[in-house]
Structure 1
Amino acid sequence: MRILLVDDDKACADSIGGVLRDEGFVADHVTTLADATLSASLAPYDALLVDRMLPDGDGLDWVRERRRAGSTVPILIITAERDAVDHRIEGLNAGADDYILKPMPLDELIARVRAVMRRPVATLDPVLRAGNVTFDPSNREVRVAGKPLRMPRRETCIFEMLIRRCGKTVTKGMLEEGLYSFEDEVSSNAIEVGIYRLRGHLLGSGATATVHTIRGTGYVLDAPDEPITLPEIPREVPKAALVAAQVAVVLSSQTESPALVPAAIAASLPEATPSETATAVVAAVLAVSLAKRGEEI
């Protein structure tokens, strides 16, 4: 989730930006209303944190302009200069979703940001679902069939963007805009790597939700009606090898970069022993080779 912080107090902005990033948000920081307008026109933000006393005007006037233009993005005013009751009332009546006085406990600020971001769907179940996979935005927890699925922050962020638009195509550009700030250096295949690692986690955990590549467009999270089941495993064949082979075949048919398959295989077998991992790699290579050979026949 991406947030724009508009504040000319560098020390305060650094503190707020740091805690936002620690909590899994992507944070952009600008110091003027002109830059805020430009940033809001370039990136889709999930919330705006706006100071009042800025070098080129009152942040509250900017909030009024946003609301008159039809923006429904949650906006939180953060200020130390205008803290009287009538100022807070003015801010809320102008369109702010919350009015917070500096200095504030940063954990409270995070809680307030999450609260205003939940309001548009307050009447719905806050837990998002796709097949047997659930995602709870309040604690950013992914579960497969009720069991926690622990993933690195980047894959979790990608999964959140996909599950929020389950069944709809999410373009590579949308993922980049939601995952990286203007200051981040993004490699050309960063999204592809993240997607393949996410697929490995989902497939390895028995998730029925799968990520499909829409070539030339983006990705879509799909949840089939029928659960995915593994075939009966003969005793003489290590389960890790069969799981790896299945993952490899699926990924090799969905991705344009088969070289990225080993990373997904490793993610799909977090509890495998070294010998099982070695067997899995061999099985994966054979499975991809046979799959490609079958396509040529």
Structure 2
Amino acid sequence: MNFSQLQSLVALADTGSFTEAAYDINLTQSAVSHALASLESELGVTLLERNRKGVVSLTVVGQKIIPHVRALLAEAESIEQEARVAQGKASGKVRLGSINSIISPDLLASLLTSFQRSYPDMEVVLFEGAMQEVGAWIEDSVVDIGFVVLPAPNVECSLITTDELCILVPTDHRLCGRTAVTFKELREEGFILEKSQCAVHLLQRVGFGTSKNRPRIRYRASDSATILAMVREGLGITLLPRQMLPKKLEGIIPLPLDPPLPLQIGLAVKSARAVSPGTTLFLQNARTWAHEYDEFF
């Protein structure tokens, strides 16, 4: 085995495409194909398969092997970064997992800008997914560090910022004149939610989720702009972290919950003892940045 083979396997697993995998690791498509074929021949097993649409996916044995491959590549990256640190350099990659429906674009952009200014030779590779996906990526070494909503089990966390859940209703809704909304007042409301487990998780934090308190979900949509348009038209209400709200809300009123429901947002690693120097720098920079960000908001 060599690193080119292992990098090709991970890139194929992440992208599901030989073309995209080749682009990601700066090789030709034929080189990626040859690397995978050589690895499979050496191991004597099939690691990837294609469906009728040409999408690549891991076989059962491939799924068992890939966590070990990711761990090997992460260790190799750490070794290289440690060597650069000894030379007085800070360069390499940090793989960051972000939660689409929880981490606001402004927060993410501000954090990345701060890190890039401090360490221009460090590259951040961004992975975006649902809350459960990011948690799994941290545990499986797909990412070096990722955003989580605290408390988060099985990982080591640092609090970065605190957000607040709020309810969004149209301007002619019966609740629009309220200063805050209780869980009891939401029981008969119909919700419009994102097509992810994150939305369900947020509802559970509000108080829904048990057999006696099942939410009435009228619609699910993938795009937040679509959800807000549907709320504006009176098709239902929704809930979002306050920092996820657009700067201009026309025809919609955000209402806090009573009692307030804070969201503690942190950055997590699998093990603080085994992180790369680049990941340590990212976390240190994030802690410094967080004070300025919270003061601004």
TM-score range for the pair, normalised by the shorter chain length:
under 0.3
Bigger share in strand:
2
Asked which structure has the greater RCO (Cα within 8 Å, sep 6+), the reply is 2
